[in-house]
Amino acid sequence: MLNIAKYRDGRNMKITLEGRFDTATAPQLETIVRNELDGVETLTFDFEKLEYISSAGLRVLLAAQKIMNKQGKMVVKNVSDEVKEIFEVTGFTDILTLE
Amino acid sequence: MTESINDKANELTIEALPENLTAVTEFVDGCLESVDCPLKIQLQIDVALEEIFINIAHYAYQPGKGPATVRVDVSDEPITVTITFIDQGVPYDPLAKDDPDITLPADEREIGGLGIFMTKKLMDDVVYEYKDGSNILRLVKKLH
């Protein structure tokens, strides 16, 4: 189960994830990434309540990062130690901007 | 001691479909809780089993359907969990692939192979064999 909350303010978008970002739930966020980032220059993810991420979640984050590299910037905030370890072993700490 | 820790061995056979991932994860997590697995290691095991089970669900029996068996064994000193996946689909060794280059920038990165790479990194050992018409893949993880 993944709860997604999104807030759009002009060119800024913030997305808060809560729960598990896995094969079952990744398509929910993928839909947002593919359809709702037009005109967004700063995309901020808040992962404070994200418990789990698998490669299905990483795939969506990579897609979002590629889009934001062309039109602005993307920041990922409040990453837990467990999720951060997944970013570390996959080299995502070098791709993403973690704050 | 009257009971061997090996008595906690347990298995689940379920249709290899992506929507059954939750049932497989709950089954394995239940086994891990009974041996006081730390949450951090449980999450690492969840990531690895998701990659393996989803691979089986997507590829083993295409275009048909078939079962996968997931077995959890616990051994002592140090406490080590072995999760074995067995399917009778097409022979496929997921470990045969080259590891992805994880030093490339985002625009050059491709996601293929990342799941198996993560699985190898997060587990202490990953072993594949094809035997008597079955793919057998073992994830081995020490709990402490």
Domain spans, chain A = 2-95
At B86, which CATH number? 3.30.565.10
Distance CA(A72)–CA(A11), nearest Å, equals 9
| CA dihedral for B111, B115, B121, B126, sign (positive or negative) | negative
In this prediction, residues B99-128 reach a mean pLDDT of: 91
Question: Do A90 and A58 form a contact (C-beta atoms < 8 A)?
Answer: yes
- pLDDT of B6 above 90: no
Tell me the residue range of the domain where B16 lies: 5-142
Looking at residue B2, what is its pLDDT? 38
Residue B51 one-letter amino acid:
E
Q: Tell me the pLDDT tens digit for each residue of A22-73.
A: 999 999 999 999 999 999 999 999 999 999 999 999 999 999 999 999 999 9
Question: Most confidently modeled of A78-92, B8-22, B95-109?
Answer: A78-92
ipTM: 0.88
Q: Tell me the pLDDT tens digit for each residue of A74-84.
A: 999 999 999 99
Instruction: State the pTM of this model.
Output: 0.90
- Contact map slice: A 41-80 vs B, CB within 8 A: 51-56, 58-59, 62, 65-66, 69
Verify whether the Cβ–Cβ distance A65 to B106 is below 8 Å: yes
Verify whether the Cβ–Cβ distance A22 to B50 is below 8 Å: yes
Topology of A2-95 in CATH? Transcription Regulator spoIIAA (3.30.750)
The total number of structural domains in chain B stands at 1
Verify whether the Cβ–Cβ distance B118 to A55 is below 8 Å: yes
Distance CA(A45)–CA(A76), nearest Å, equals 5
